[in-house]
Amino acid sequence: MPAIVLVRPQLGENIGKAARAMLNFGLTEMRLVAPRDGWPNPSAGPAAAGADRVLEEARVFDSVAEAVADCAHVYATTVRKRGVTKPVFTPEAAAKNIATAVGRSAILFGPERSGLETEDVALARAIVTVPINPEFGSLNLAQAVILCAYEWSKHQDLVAPTEEELLPPAPQEELEGLIAHLGHMLEPKGYFLPESRAAATRRTLRSMLTKPGWNHLEIRTLRGILSSLEKRDRT
């Protein structure tokens, strides 16, 4: 599991949002390098939206070198290479490397306004750059974190959200009952007039009611609605 290292983060809200992004994808180790407003920051908790564990366990360092001292693989996220010659990876490729690497890994994220400095990038062994619109490269801190966290999560055994179990389509008999019920209600209203168009109109109605693949609960609900309308007409 890589450590997420926020270098000189400026706003507590952004630290909280980064923690939220991390925990969504199973990352829990946050390291802070010289946060501008100190730590802990009261603004981080509300923005974390429940990711309190990440904030409570966050460690603070005075320098990037100290923050990554125990890491064998350090990646710097930056859109500007600033003349530094290092391997460049997408978040997907970096995550794949981290998942199979021996030794600890860290991903560096720079301050909100300026990003990582050249000296910060120099400490990394590789660069992570997101393919982005060259006319508008404006990811915020949490967005950058979530991109890398998501790619890392694809190599883990995270549980996907449970899909809603869908009921099978209702038997044809129930569908025919619905069609007949609606037809019975429409007949006295003159819906199928003129008579020359009645057969075509009924086919269109059948086609519309057949397409959705109603399950038996949905058909029962629709029949209930029709019965309620019938009662209202009689009063």
Q: How confident is the model over 14-34, as a mean pLDDT?
A: 94
Q: What is the distance, to the nearest Å, from the Cα of residue 138 to the centroid of all Cα atoms in its chain?
A: 19
Q: Give the integer Cα–Cα distance in Å for 215 and 202.
A: 22
Lowest model confidence (mean pLDDT) among 57-66, 155-164, 187-196: 155-164
Q: Quick one: which of 177, 172, 169 has its CA closest to 226?
A: 177
Which CATH superfamily does the domain covering 3-153 fall into?
SPOUT methyltransferase, trefoil knot domain (3.40.1280.10)
DSSP 124-143: -SEEE-----TT-----HHH
Which tokens in the block code for residue 91?
């978040």
What pLDDT is recorded for position 168? 84
Provide the β-strand partners of residue 30: 4
Per-residue pLDDT tens digits for 71-97: 999 999 987 655 667 889 999 999 999
Checking if the pLDDT of 17 tops 90, the result is yes
Identity (one letter) of the amino acid at 195?
E
Q: How confident is the model over 22-33, as a mean pLDDT?
A: 94
Q: What is the mean pLDDT of the chain?
A: 88
56, 99 contact by CB (below 8 A): no
Q: How confident is the model over 24-40, as a mean pLDDT?
A: 94
Q: Give the integer Cα–Cα distance in Å for 88 and 177.
A: 64
DSSP state of 97: H
Helix (H) or strand (E) holding 109: strand 105-109
Catalogue the E-assigned strands of the chain. 3-7, 30-33, 59-61, 73-77, 88-89, 105-109, 126-128
What pLDDT is recorded for position 169? 86
What pLDDT is recorded for position 84? 62
**CA distances in angstroms from 169 to 107, 162, 208, 212, 214, listed in the order given:** 49, 21, 15, 9, 5
89, 30 contact by CB (below 8 A): no
Lowest model confidence (mean pLDDT) among 43-47, 88-92, 226-230: 226-230
pLDDT higher at 217 or 136:
217
Residue 33 pLDDT class (50, 70, 90 cuts): very high
20, 48 contact by CB (below 8 A): yes
Ranges 55-64, 71-80, 116-125, 195-204, most confident? 55-64
Q: With pLDDT > 70 as the criterion, what percentage of the chain qualifies?
A: 93
Q: Give the integer Cα–Cα distance in Å for 17 and 13.
A: 6
Per-residue pLDDT tens digits for 209-221: 888 888 888 899 9
β-strand pairing of 73-77 with 105-109: parallel
Domain with CATH 3.40.1280.10 in the chain: 3-153
Checking if the pLDDT of 190 tops 80, the result is yes
Checking if the pLDDT of 159 tops 70, the result is no
